[in-house]
Structure 1
Amino acid sequence: MSLTRAYHSPIRAAQFRETREAILSALLSLMESAATPDDISMDAIASEAGVQRRTIFRHFENKEELLRAFWPWLNSRIGASVKPMTPEDISGGPQRAFPLFETHEAAIRA
Protein backbone atom coordinates (compact mmCIF):
# COMPACT_ATOMS: atom_id res chain seq x y z
CA MET A 1 0.00 0.00 0.00
CA SER A 2 1.47 3.31 -1.10
CA LEU A 3 0.93 6.36 1.04
CA THR A 4 2.29 8.88 -1.44
CA ARG A 5 0.32 12.03 -2.03
CA ALA A 6 0.48 14.56 -4.78
CA TYR A 7 2.68 17.54 -4.08
CA HIS A 8 1.31 20.95 -4.98
CA SER A 9 3.48 24.02 -4.66
CA PRO A 10 1.74 27.38 -4.99
CA ILE A 11 5.10 28.97 -5.78
CA ARG A 12 5.79 26.49 -8.57
CA ALA A 13 2.28 26.99 -9.97
CA ALA A 14 2.78 30.77 -9.97
CA GLN A 15 6.15 30.40 -11.72
CA PHE A 16 4.52 28.13 -14.31
CA ARG A 17 1.84 30.76 -15.02
CA GLU A 18 4.44 33.56 -15.19
CA THR A 19 6.61 31.61 -17.63
CA ARG A 20 3.61 30.76 -19.81
CA GLU A 21 2.63 34.44 -19.81
CA ALA A 22 6.20 35.44 -20.75
CA ILE A 23 6.18 33.00 -23.67
CA LEU A 24 2.82 34.22 -24.98
CA SER A 25 3.86 37.87 -24.51
CA ALA A 26 7.10 37.17 -26.39
CA LEU A 27 5.14 35.67 -29.27
CA LEU A 28 2.92 38.77 -29.40
CA SER A 29 5.96 41.04 -29.37
CA LEU A 30 7.57 39.11 -32.21
CA MET A 31 4.35 39.06 -34.24
CA GLU A 32 4.17 42.82 -33.95
CA SER A 33 7.78 43.32 -35.05
CA ALA A 34 8.53 40.47 -37.50
CA ALA A 35 8.43 41.05 -41.23
CA THR A 36 6.54 37.78 -41.78
CA PRO A 37 5.14 35.12 -39.45
CA ASP A 38 7.71 32.70 -40.88
CA ASP A 39 10.44 34.85 -39.30
CA ILE A 40 9.25 33.80 -35.84
CA SER A 41 11.15 30.75 -34.65
CA MET A 42 10.95 28.91 -31.36
CA ASP A 43 14.49 30.13 -30.67
CA ALA A 44 13.39 33.73 -31.21
CA ILE A 45 10.39 33.25 -28.90
CA ALA A 46 12.62 31.72 -26.21
CA SER A 47 15.12 34.55 -26.50
CA GLU A 48 12.40 37.21 -26.32
CA ALA A 49 10.78 35.48 -23.31
CA GLY A 50 14.10 35.05 -21.52
CA VAL A 51 13.76 31.28 -21.29
CA GLN A 52 15.44 28.26 -22.81
CA ARG A 53 13.92 26.77 -25.96
CA ARG A 54 13.15 23.54 -24.12
CA THR A 55 11.09 25.52 -21.59
CA ILE A 56 8.65 26.44 -24.34
CA PHE A 57 8.14 22.75 -25.04
CA ARG A 58 7.38 22.13 -21.36
CA HIS A 59 4.44 24.47 -21.76
CA PHE A 60 3.45 23.76 -25.36
CA GLU A 61 4.01 20.47 -27.17
CA ASN A 62 4.74 22.18 -30.49
CA LYS A 63 4.32 25.49 -32.32
CA GLU A 64 0.79 24.61 -33.38
CA GLU A 65 -0.25 24.14 -29.75
CA LEU A 66 1.44 27.42 -28.86
CA LEU A 67 -0.58 29.20 -31.54
CA ARG A 68 -3.79 27.49 -30.39
CA ALA A 69 -3.16 28.85 -26.89
CA PHE A 70 -2.13 32.27 -28.19
CA TRP A 71 -5.41 33.36 -29.79
CA PRO A 72 -7.66 32.87 -26.74
CA TRP A 73 -4.91 34.50 -24.62
CA LEU A 74 -4.78 37.52 -26.95
CA ASN A 75 -8.57 37.80 -27.12
CA SER A 76 -8.85 37.75 -23.33
CA ARG A 77 -6.00 40.24 -23.02
CA ILE A 78 -7.56 42.79 -25.37
CA GLY A 79 -11.11 42.13 -24.16
CA ALA A 80 -12.52 40.60 -27.34
CA SER A 81 -15.32 38.14 -26.71
CA VAL A 82 -14.39 34.72 -28.04
CA LYS A 83 -17.68 33.05 -27.27
CA PRO A 84 -20.84 35.12 -27.59
CA MET A 85 -23.25 34.48 -24.73
CA THR A 86 -26.17 36.72 -25.69
CA PRO A 87 -27.79 37.90 -28.92
CA GLU A 88 -26.27 41.35 -28.26
CA ASP A 89 -22.82 39.73 -28.15
CA ILE A 90 -23.45 38.31 -31.61
CA SER A 91 -24.67 41.56 -33.14
CA GLY A 92 -22.49 44.02 -31.24
CA GLY A 93 -19.41 41.89 -30.65
CA PRO A 94 -17.65 42.60 -33.94
CA GLN A 95 -18.20 46.36 -33.54
CA ARG A 96 -16.49 46.21 -30.14
CA ALA A 97 -13.79 43.72 -31.13
CA PHE A 98 -12.50 45.21 -34.39
CA PRO A 99 -11.13 48.41 -32.81
CA LEU A 100 -9.38 46.21 -30.23
CA PHE A 101 -7.85 44.15 -33.02
CA GLU A 102 -6.47 47.31 -34.61
CA THR A 103 -4.26 47.92 -31.59
CA HIS A 104 -2.59 44.57 -32.36
CA GLU A 105 -2.96 44.65 -36.14
CA ALA A 106 0.35 42.94 -36.91
CA ALA A 107 -0.43 40.01 -34.59
CA ILE A 108 -3.94 39.64 -35.99
CA ARG A 109 -2.59 39.62 -39.54
CA ALA A 110 0.11 37.09 -38.62
Structure 2
Amino acid sequence: MRVDKARNRDMVLAAAARLFHEATHPDEVSMDAVAAAAGVGKGTIFRGFGDRRGLLLALYQEHIDRELTAPVAEETPAQTALELMTRTWRFKQRHRILTLALEREGFGSPYQNSGYTQLHAQLTDLVGQARGTDNAAFLAHALIAAVRSDLIEHLRNHPEIDAEAGLRELVYDVLG
Protein backbone atom coordinates (compact mmCIF):
# COMPACT_ATOMS: atom_id res chain seq x y z
CA MET A 1 0.00 0.00 0.00
CA ARG A 2 1.32 3.43 -0.88
CA VAL A 3 2.37 5.57 2.05
CA ASP A 4 -0.16 8.34 1.33
CA LYS A 5 -2.96 5.81 0.85
CA ALA A 6 -2.11 4.12 4.16
CA ARG A 7 -1.89 7.52 5.89
CA ASN A 8 -5.27 8.57 4.48
CA ARG A 9 -6.81 5.27 5.57
CA ASP A 10 -5.49 5.72 9.10
CA MET A 11 -6.72 9.34 9.24
CA VAL A 12 -10.18 8.38 7.97
CA LEU A 13 -10.52 5.48 10.42
CA ALA A 14 -9.33 7.64 13.32
CA ALA A 15 -11.76 10.43 12.39
CA ALA A 16 -14.65 8.00 11.95
CA ALA A 17 -13.87 6.32 15.29
CA ARG A 18 -13.88 9.71 17.03
CA LEU A 19 -17.14 10.80 15.38
CA PHE A 20 -18.91 7.54 16.20
CA HIS A 21 -17.66 7.74 19.79
CA GLU A 22 -19.04 11.29 20.15
CA ALA A 23 -22.33 10.67 18.31
CA THR A 24 -25.64 9.91 19.99
CA HIS A 25 -27.25 8.39 16.88
CA PRO A 26 -25.82 6.50 13.88
CA ASP A 27 -27.25 9.00 11.39
CA GLU A 28 -25.12 11.80 12.87
CA VAL A 29 -22.00 10.37 11.23
CA SER A 30 -22.09 11.09 7.51
CA MET A 31 -19.43 10.50 4.90
CA ASP A 32 -19.14 14.30 4.58
CA ALA A 33 -18.51 14.63 8.32
CA VAL A 34 -15.87 11.88 8.28
CA ALA A 35 -14.11 13.45 5.27
CA ALA A 36 -14.07 16.87 6.94
CA ALA A 37 -12.83 15.47 10.25
CA ALA A 38 -10.10 13.49 8.48
CA GLY A 39 -9.08 16.42 6.30
CA VAL A 40 -9.59 14.48 3.06
CA GLY A 41 -12.03 14.68 0.20
CA LYS A 42 -15.11 12.49 0.20
CA GLY A 43 -13.75 10.79 -2.93
CA THR A 44 -10.78 9.58 -0.90
CA ILE A 45 -13.15 7.75 1.41
CA PHE A 46 -15.07 6.20 -1.46
CA ARG A 47 -11.84 5.10 -3.18
CA GLY A 48 -10.50 3.64 0.06
CA PHE A 49 -13.64 1.98 1.41
CA GLY A 50 -16.14 1.81 -1.46
CA ASP A 51 -19.10 3.21 0.47
CA ARG A 52 -20.36 3.91 4.00
CA ARG A 53 -20.85 0.21 4.65
CA GLY A 54 -17.24 -0.47 3.66
CA LEU A 55 -16.06 2.23 6.04
CA LEU A 56 -18.22 0.85 8.86
CA LEU A 57 -16.95 -2.68 8.28
CA ALA A 58 -13.31 -1.56 8.20
CA LEU A 59 -13.69 0.43 11.43
CA TYR A 60 -15.60 -2.40 13.12
CA GLN A 61 -12.94 -4.92 12.08
CA GLU A 62 -10.18 -2.64 13.36
CA HIS A 63 -11.89 -2.49 16.76
CA ILE A 64 -12.41 -6.27 16.78
CA ASP A 65 -8.78 -6.90 15.90
CA ARG A 66 -7.64 -4.62 18.72
CA GLU A 67 -10.15 -5.60 21.40
CA LEU A 68 -11.62 -9.06 20.82
CA THR A 69 -8.76 -11.19 19.59
CA ALA A 70 -7.24 -12.04 22.96
CA PRO A 71 -7.50 -15.75 23.62
CA VAL A 72 -10.26 -16.94 25.89
CA ALA A 73 -9.20 -19.11 28.81
CA GLU A 74 -9.91 -22.75 28.05
CA GLU A 75 -12.35 -23.72 30.75
CA THR A 76 -15.62 -25.58 30.40
CA PRO A 77 -17.52 -24.91 27.17
CA ALA A 78 -20.12 -22.92 29.13
CA GLN A 79 -17.49 -20.76 30.85
CA THR A 80 -15.73 -20.10 27.55
CA ALA A 81 -19.03 -19.26 25.83
CA LEU A 82 -19.96 -16.91 28.66
CA GLU A 83 -16.61 -15.13 28.35
CA LEU A 84 -17.14 -14.70 24.58
CA MET A 85 -20.68 -13.42 25.05
CA THR A 86 -19.70 -11.03 27.85
CA ARG A 87 -16.78 -9.65 25.83
CA THR A 88 -19.08 -9.14 22.87
CA TRP A 89 -21.71 -7.39 25.02
CA ARG A 90 -19.13 -5.03 26.51
CA PHE A 91 -17.54 -4.39 23.10
CA LYS A 92 -20.92 -3.42 21.65
CA GLN A 93 -21.61 -1.16 24.63
CA ARG A 94 -18.28 0.63 24.10
CA HIS A 95 -18.93 1.03 20.37
CA ARG A 96 -22.71 1.28 20.51
CA ILE A 97 -23.26 3.89 17.81
CA LEU A 98 -20.88 2.16 15.39
CA THR A 99 -22.45 -1.26 15.96
CA LEU A 100 -25.94 0.18 15.63
CA ALA A 101 -24.92 1.87 12.39
CA LEU A 102 -23.50 -1.38 11.07
CA GLU A 103 -26.60 -3.38 11.97
CA ARG A 104 -28.88 -0.69 10.50
CA GLU A 105 -26.90 -0.10 7.33
CA GLY A 106 -29.43 -2.00 5.27
CA PHE A 107 -27.06 -4.38 3.55
CA GLY A 108 -29.43 -7.24 4.07
CA SER A 109 -28.28 -8.78 7.29
CA PRO A 110 -26.16 -8.13 10.38
CA TYR A 111 -25.05 -11.74 9.98
CA GLN A 112 -22.86 -10.94 6.97
CA ASN A 113 -19.62 -9.90 8.63
CA SER A 114 -16.48 -11.68 9.74
CA GLY A 115 -17.05 -10.90 13.42
CA TYR A 116 -20.42 -12.64 13.37
CA THR A 117 -19.07 -15.58 11.40
CA GLN A 118 -16.17 -16.06 13.80
CA LEU A 119 -18.30 -15.80 16.96
CA HIS A 120 -20.88 -18.16 15.47
CA ALA A 121 -18.22 -20.76 14.65
CA GLN A 122 -16.77 -20.56 18.17
CA LEU A 123 -20.17 -20.84 19.85
CA THR A 124 -21.29 -23.66 17.55
CA ASP A 125 -18.18 -25.60 18.55
CA LEU A 126 -18.76 -24.91 22.25
CA VAL A 127 -22.44 -25.87 22.09
CA GLY A 128 -21.43 -29.03 20.24
CA GLN A 129 -18.91 -29.90 22.95
CA ALA A 130 -21.43 -29.29 25.71
CA ARG A 131 -24.53 -30.98 24.31
CA GLY A 132 -23.74 -32.59 20.98
CA THR A 133 -23.92 -31.26 17.47
CA ASP A 134 -27.68 -31.56 16.92
CA ASN A 135 -28.97 -28.00 16.62
CA ALA A 136 -25.62 -26.55 17.73
CA ALA A 137 -25.53 -24.07 14.83
CA PHE A 138 -29.07 -22.85 15.56
CA LEU A 139 -28.38 -22.52 19.27
CA ALA A 140 -25.24 -20.51 18.52
CA HIS A 141 -27.32 -18.12 16.38
CA ALA A 142 -29.86 -17.85 19.20
CA LEU A 143 -27.13 -17.04 21.72
CA ILE A 144 -25.70 -14.32 19.47
CA ALA A 145 -29.16 -12.77 19.17
CA ALA A 146 -28.81 -11.92 22.87
CA VAL A 147 -25.91 -9.57 22.06
CA ARG A 148 -27.43 -7.72 19.10
CA SER A 149 -26.76 -4.00 19.23
CA ASP A 150 -30.43 -3.07 19.00
CA LEU A 151 -31.17 -5.18 22.10
CA ILE A 152 -28.22 -3.67 23.96
CA GLU A 153 -29.47 -0.20 23.03
CA HIS A 154 -33.03 -1.05 24.12
CA LEU A 155 -31.82 -2.33 27.49
CA ARG A 156 -29.95 0.94 28.17
CA ASN A 157 -33.39 2.29 29.13
CA HIS A 158 -33.96 -0.57 31.57
CA PRO A 159 -31.28 -0.26 34.28
CA GLU A 160 -33.23 -2.68 36.46
CA ILE A 161 -32.22 -5.50 34.11
CA ASP A 162 -28.87 -7.08 34.89
CA ALA A 163 -27.88 -8.04 31.36
CA GLU A 164 -24.67 -9.81 32.30
CA ALA A 165 -26.52 -11.96 34.83
CA GLY A 166 -29.06 -12.70 32.12
CA LEU A 167 -26.30 -13.69 29.71
CA ARG A 168 -24.83 -16.00 32.34
CA GLU A 169 -28.19 -17.68 32.92
CA LEU A 170 -28.87 -18.02 29.19
CA VAL A 171 -25.45 -19.52 28.43
CA TYR A 172 -25.66 -21.99 31.30
CA ASP A 173 -29.21 -22.96 30.35
CA VAL A 174 -28.14 -23.67 26.77
CA LEU A 175 -24.75 -25.25 27.45
CA GLY A 176 -25.53 -26.93 30.75
- Do they fold alike, i.e. is TM over 0.5? yes
Q: Percent identity?
A: 29
For 1:18-57, what aligned pairs fall within 5 Å after superposition? Answer: 18-57=7-46
Partner in structure 1 of residue 69 of structure 2: 81
Contact 2:19 2:34 in 1 (8 A): yes
For 1:65-80, what aligned pairs fall within 5 Å after superposition? Answer: 65-77=54-66, 79-80=67-68
Distance 1:67 1:104, change over 3 A: closer
Distance 1:68 1:105, change over 3 A: closer
Shift of 1:35: 2.5
Q: Does 1:107 align with 2:98?
A: yes
RMSD: 2.8
CA distances 1:63-105 after superposition (whole Å, capped 9, x unpaired)? 112122221111113x2139x8x87865633444544554444
Partner in structure 1 of residue 84 of structure 2: 93
Size of the aligned set, in residue pairs, is 96
Partner in structure 1 of residue 127 of structure 2: none
Report 1 or 2 for greater relative contact order, CA contacts < 8 Å, sequence distance ≥ 6. 1
- Give the Cα separation in 2 of the matches to 1:18 and 1:89: 38
- Give the Cα separation in 2 of the matches to 1:104 and 1:42: 18
Contact 1:81 1:97 in 2 (8 A): no
Contact 2:56 2:98 in 1 (8 A): no
Runs of at least 5 residues in structure 1 that lack an aligned partner in the other structure: 1-11
